[in-house]
Amino acid sequence: MADRHDNHLQGRVSVITGASSGISAATARALAARSARVVLAARNADKLNTLVTEIREAGGTATARITDVTRRDDVEGLVDLAASEYGPVDHLVNNAGLMLFSKWSDRAVDDWDKMIDTNLRGYLHAISAVLPGMIARQSGHILNLSSVAGIRVGDASGVYSATKFFIRGITDSLRQEVGITHGIQVSMISPGVIDTGWAEKVSNTEGKQIAQDLNEGAIHPDRVADAIVYALNQPSDVTVNDIVVHPTRQDW
């Protein structure tokens, strides 16, 4: 019987979107510390380069590509880079996203469009880019970050929650199709309120106040990274389907 502390991450190629900060940056550090080879994607070059340097100085293996997940060719280029640098992609941590709160009556259509482009199209682009290789090898792991907002809709989170319900839907569909047919592991992590600086990105005045109030009880991104590592660090015959991680003192 395999030891429950076996490291199934060693040497694995892990592509992580949204990696310049927050949960994805914490995940990159955690996976690299367990000898995975991480390929980081985000739009902020300075933050990406700083994180790559940090991981390498700690003895890990990392590279990065400036990537806009709303552009399909950008994401295809990211996966091509991973393959050329380290080999076929074993893990996709799909986490590039925007969390912009507003009331429906505010008609914050620009914010809605941004979330649709990033939270929906971005996830689909990344899945599309890694699927052919995973299907050909009959192995791989797709991990989608959703949210407790994809379980229950909160105040001023209508469109954001809708994008997270979408992620739950595509994850269930992937699990049924490529999981059963092609042996690809498919997981979903649904965080509660995490201290990633997201509240400061909300531009809508009323939505920003709601976000700041909600963020007061937030927990550290490392807590979610631990859950991601747990889900990915499983033998190929085991899939962790769904984990919810949220602050103890908040009602999600």
What is this structure's pTM?
0.90
Alpha-carbon distance of 202 to 103, in angstroms, equals 12
Query: Looking at residue 156, what is its pLDDT?
Result: 86
Q: Do residues 177 and 165 lie in contact, with contact meaning Cβ atoms separated by under 8 Å?
A: no
Angle separating helix axes 22-33 and 221-232, nearest 10 degrees: 50
pLDDT tens, 13-44?
Answer: 999 999 999 999 999 999 999 999 999 999 99
One DSSP character per residue, 182-204 reads H--EEEEEEE-SB-SSGGGG--S
Query: Looking at residue 214, what is its pLDDT?
Result: 59
Residue numbers annotated as active site: 160
pLDDT-flagged residues of the chain (< 70): 1-5, 195-217, 249-252
